[in-house]
Structure 1
C-alpha cells in the first residue's frame, strides 16, 4: 500500500477504537452470531458437526450491522467539515476512498475472526470439513466487503448518517433477496428466462451459498470483487462531484 493509503487506513481504523463503535459492533455481532447459531439455528438439535447454522444467518446479520459501520465513513466527515481538510491533504481522493473502505473491512474481518470459539466447538464435538468452513469464512468476508462498498457509496452521498444507514440497508436488501424463489416467481409467466437468471445472478445469496458449500468458483469470487470495485468507484465519483460543487 502507498504511504497515503496506509495513513488513511491507520487513521480510520484507529478511530473505530477511539470511540465505542468498534467494541459495540463486535460485541453485538458476536452475541447475535451465537444466538442465531445455537438457538435459532438449532445447532445441537441438528446433530451435525458443521457451521451451516452459523453461516446461514450471516447475510442477514451483515445486512443490518455492516451499514452501521459504513454510514459514518463519509457522512461524518461531511457533517463535521473535516472532509475538506482530508481531501486537501496529499492523499488523493482514491487513496481516501480505498483507505476508509479497507479499514472498515478490516474491522469486519476482525469480528469474523473472533467467532473462532464456535469453530473450535464444532471441532471438539465432531469432525467437520474444515475446508468448507474456511471457504465459508472467505465467502462471508467477501460478502461483508460488498455490503461495505455499497454503504460507503451511500455515506458519500449524504451528510446524514441515518439516511446513509437506511439507503445502505435498502440497497443491500435488494442485492440480497434478488435470488430468492419468491422474487424470481414474480418474473414467471411474463418475463424471459434470461431475465430471471440475470436477476438471480445479482443476488448476494446466490454466490454466497455456492462459496459456503466449499465450491470456490472463480465466477463467484469475481462477482464480489467486481461489485466492491464498482461501488467504490461510484463512491469516488460522488465525492469528486461533491468536491466540485463546493
Structure 2
C-alpha cells in the first residue's frame, strides 16, 4: 500500500504541475453552471433541488473524463518513462490503481468545487441535502467508471488523440444504450428481456436513480464492476506491452 500511496501522490501532483488539472476543473465548473442555469432551467423549474445539475453529468463526463485519462499510459509509453516505471519496486496493478485513484481524486475535487451550487439551492429553498449528497456520490462513482474506460484505451495506444477518440466512442455506447432513442429502436422487434439487458448496460439507467438520491445495491455494484473490469483489461494490455 505504501507503493500505491507514493505513486498516487506523484500522479496527483503531476496533474497540477501542468495546466491539465486547472483547465479541466475550469471547463467542468463553467459547463456545469451553463447547463444547470441556462439549459437545465434551474430557476424556471421552481424546485429546490440540483437535478438539472446532475442530469448533465453523463454528457459532461463523456468528453471531459477521456481528456484527463488519455495521458495516463499513453504519455508514459510515448516518453519512454514506462520502462523506468516498470523497473521500480512496484507491480503493474499497483501502478494502475495509483493512476486511477489520482485521476479520480482530481474528478472528486472538481465535484467538490461545485459547492456554490449547493449553497445557492439551500439559499433559495429547503432541499433534501441527503438526496444531494447521494447524487454527488453517485456522480463520483460514475466518473470512476468513465475513467477506467479511458485508462484502458490509454493503455492500448501511445497516441493520446487516438486514446481520447476510442474512449469517447466506448463511453458513448455505455451512455446511449439506455436512452429512449436506442430503446425505442429495439422495441419494434426485440423482446422485453433483451431491451432490459441493453438498458442495464447504460450509465444513464443506473445514474438516474442515484441523481434522485436512491443508492441501490445493483447500481452501486454496476459502477464498481465496470470500473474493476476495465481496469483489469487495461492491466492485461500493459502486461502484454511489457512482454513485447
* TM-score of the two chains, using structure 2 as the length reference: 0.98
Aligned residues: 244
Verify the 8 A CA contact 2:54 2:135 in the aligned structure 1.
yes
Matched, 1:81 2:96: no
Structure 1 distance, partners of 2:224, 2:152, is 15
Counterpart in the other structure of 1:151: 150
Q: Please say if residues 66 and 150 of structure 2, whose CA atoms lie closer than 8 Å, have aligned partners that are also in contact.
A: yes
Structure 1 residue 20 corresponds to structure 2 residue 19: yes
In structure 1, the residue matched to 2:43 is: 44
Determine the C-alpha separation between the residues in 2 that align with 1:38 and 1:56.
Answer: 12
Flag structure 1 segments of 5+ consecutive residues without an equivalent: none
Kindly state the Cα deviation for residue 203 of structure 1 after the two structures are TM-superposed.
Answer: 0.3
What does residue 116 of structure 1 align with? 115
Render the CA deviation track for 1:107-157: whole Å, top value 9, x for unaligned: 000000000000000000000011110111011001100000000000000
**1: CA distance, partners of 2:242 / 2:141:** 30
The runs of 5 or more residues in structure 2 that have no matched partner are none
Note the 1:59-138 alignment, pairs <5 A.
Answer: 59-138=58-137
Alpha-carbon distance between aligned partners in 2 of 1:182 and 1:167, rounded to the nearest angstrom:
22
Structure-1 residue corresponding to 2:5: 6
CA distance in 2, matches of 1:78, 1:69: 16
Structure 1 length-normalised TM: 0.98
* 1:33 and 2:45 matched: no
Matching residue of 2:217: 218
* TM superposition shift of 1:89: 0.6
Moved over 6 A (4+): none
Find the counterpart in structure 1 of residue 172 from structure 2: 173
User: What residue is the counterpart of 2:195 in the other structure?
Assistant: 196
The residue number in structure 1 matching 2:205 is: 206
CA RMSD, 1 decimal: 0.7
Shift of 1:25: 0.4
Do the aligned partners of 2:55 and 2:211 also contact (CA within 8 Å) in 1? no
**Contact 2:199–2:205 at 8 Å: present in 1 too?**
yes
Deviations 1:209-244 (A, max 9, x none): 011111111110000001000000000000000110
State the Cα deviation string for residues 71-97 of structure 1 (Å, max 9, x = none): 000000000000011011111100000
Equivalents in 1 of 2:46, 2:151: separation in Å? 40
